[in-house]
């Protein structure tokens, strides 16, 4: 595996930067989903990119 795996234990310390709500780890898409903010933050090389400008809007 060339990419570094995301450690789900990190979810205990991370919240959505927009809403301060908890996040859900989507292993298939390698994203952290904020249902409250209706966005998904990418995980690159095992590191969550928690920048609002990098978030993908959810439908």
pLDDT at residue 46, rounded to an integer = 92
d(CA 58, CA 3): 25
What's this model's pTM, rounded to 2 decimal places?
A: 0.88
Classify domain 8-57 at the CATH topology level: N-terminal domain of TfIIb (2.20.25)
pLDDT tens-digit map of 17-44: 999 999 999 999 999 999 999 999 999 9
Q: What is the mean pLDDT of the chain?
A: 93
* Domain boundaries of the chain, sorted by first residue: 8-57
d(CA 53, CA 6): 21
22 near 4, Cβ under 8 Å?
no
d(CA 45, CA 33): 17
């Amino acid at each position: 595996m060339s990419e570094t795996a995301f450690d789900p234990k990190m979810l205990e310390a991370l919240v959505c930067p927009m809403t301060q709500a908890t996040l859900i780890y989507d292993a298939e898409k390698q994203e952290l989903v904020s249902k409250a903010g209706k966005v998904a933050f990418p995980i690159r090389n095992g590191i969550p990119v928690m920048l609002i400008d990098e978030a993908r809007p959810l439908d």
